[in-house]
Structure 1
Amino acid sequence: MIIDFQMVFILFSSLFAILNPFGVIPPFLSLTSGYSESEKVKIIQKSMVAAFLILLVSGLLGKYIIAFFGVSIPAIRITGGVLVFIVALEIITGNSTKQKALKSNLPEQCYEVEDISVVPLTIPLYAGPGAISTMIALTAQSSSYIHLMYLTMALIMCIVISYIILRFSKDLEKKLGKVGFNVLTKLMGLMLMAIAVQMLLDGIGGFIGLENSANIIFNNT
């Protein structure tokens, strides 16, 4: 079997933009400021495993969930597009959930290693509603096992790269500086907004019966 690396890269780009591990770095460094390196590594490992399981289950069961509630695929696309657009807008304007976490007084239990790993680090800072809805949208249309395999490969790539980014987040922030880090985050937001608009256009096109030739993310493989 020949792997369609272009499709894997497209799926990876979509997921990586919505997950945006760079945006997790500031709250992560703030939440773990009093932890040793070994404790930080354990937190990252548990968070990435939790994120992988949450997103994988969302993708695998998403089609059955929307079928149970009688929701159409175009509706999922539009809903996902709206959520992703809101996330992208918050990233660009500097008012995202990730940044709010730095300004808010987090509950005392969040300073437990186990609690930080899943809440708030994984949900909602990393694998939030936008990421979950994107996974559902990416798997809702295609019944091909090859497509699911490509999506799983893309998800694994995102998790591995996110782990590396968080593992060396302190060094990365120092090298990029505040200005470089902000520019990178804004670029991720712009890319994410473009993906959101495409999802909205595909959803609207699905409702009115139009085929969008530009849409290659959701095509069956």
Structure 2
Amino acid sequence: MFDFKEVISVTLILFSVIDILGSVPIIINLRKKVGHIQSEKATIAAGLLMVLFLIVGRSILSLFGIGVEDFAIAGALIIFALGAEMILGIEIFKPDPEAGATSTSIVPIAFPLIAGAGTLTTILTLKSEYSQSNIAVGIILNLIIIYIVLKSTNWLERKLGKTGLDVLRRIFGIILLSIAIKILKTNLENLS
């Protein structure tokens, strides 16, 4: 049953976990590597992952004998690598010239930046507290915000300038490393 208060709660929780605004420096950095990010494909791929996890997330993980903690740790390692790239100026995720922007729009933008382990784990957790239909509406509202932000990266890049982006990239690199370590720590404790 539709509940406006639940939708707002779910939307805000997912918005803070996805942190699309915090990902802007990463997205701009990736766009510079491949030339173009396909906002529509990234948004649709992230949306499909989130909805799929909402419906059959636990079943998919258990089919492969993977726990939520294992999944979160794998996502944390990818987030850690992205953070290291941003801070150290190294290139871990090398663009595949044959794959083009479509591949980069899906990995690492749709997964793990947007629909990463934190987001997918949060969706599984929300199911115990909120109705599935309200979570679905919250996901759709977040996808609209994500699409708008992805489409605005050129404008944001112009407004921030090279120095502003460089500073933001390093700051968000440290934040990504911190998030990765927190996810690792929490889920390693849950495994023991």
Give the TM-score normalised by the residue count of structure 2. Answer: 0.69
Evaluate the alpha carbon distance shift between residue 105 and residue 163 of structure 1 in structure 2; reply closer, same or farther with a 3 A threshold.
closer
Deviation, structure 1 residue 23: 0.9
Q: Which amino acid aligns with 1:26?
A: N
Asked if structure 2 preserves the Cα contact closer than 8 Å seen for 1:7 and 1:150, the reply is yes
Q: Which amino acid aligns with 1:61?
A: L
Asked if structure 2 preserves the Cα contact closer than 8 Å seen for 1:17 and 1:189, the reply is no
Please give the secondary structure, in 2, of the residue aligned with 1:59: helix
- Give runs of aligned pairs for residues 1-221 of structure 1, distance below 5 A: 1-4=3-6, 5-16=8-19, 20-32=23-35, 43-44=36-37, 47-62=38-53, 63-64=55-56, 66-67=58-59, 70-71=62-63, 75=67, 77-94=68-85, 100=91, 104=94, 106-107=96-97, 109=98, 115-116=100-101, 118-120=102-104, 122-129=105-112, 131-141=115-125, 142=127, 144-174=132-162, 176-191=164-179, 193-195=181-183, 197-198=185-186, 200=187, 204=190
Alpha-carbon distance in structure 1 between the residues aligned to 2:167 and 2:116: 30
| Greater radius of gyration (CA) | 1
Alpha-carbon distance in structure 2 between the residues aligned to 1:15 and 1:67: 23
**In the TM superposition, what whole-angstrom CA distance separates every residue of 1:99-158 from its partner, at most 9, and x where no partner exists?**
5278x4742x45xxxx32x122x1213123563544543333515211221222223223
Q: Which amino acid aligns with 1:184?
A: F
Number of matched residues?
A: 182
**In the TM superposition, what whole-angstrom CA distance separates every residue of 1:4-49 from its partner, at most 9, and x where no partner exists?**
43442221121126982321212312433xxxxxxxxxx54xx221
Please give the secondary structure, in 2, of the residue aligned with 1:100: coil
Alpha-carbon distance in structure 2 between the residues aligned to 1:30 and 1:129: 18
**In the TM superposition, what whole-angstrom CA distance separates every residue of 1:44-86 from its partner, at most 9, and x where no partner exists?**
4xx22112211222222234365267449981x2133202321
Asked if structure 2 preserves the Cα contact closer than 8 Å seen for 1:92 and 1:186, the reply is yes
Evaluate the alpha carbon distance shift between residue 95 and residue 79 of structure 1 in structure 2; reply closer, same or farther with a 3 A threshold.
farther
- How high is the sequence identity, in percent, across the aligned residues? 12
Alpha-carbon distance in structure 1 between the residues aligned to 2:138 and 2:76: 24
**Unpaired segments of 5 or more residues in structure 1?**
33-42, 209-221
Asked if structure 2 preserves the Cα contact closer than 8 Å seen for 1:17 and 1:188, the reply is no
Give the TM-score normalised by the residue count of structure 1. Answer: 0.62
Alpha-carbon distance in structure 2 between the residues aligned to 1:101 and 1:167: 27
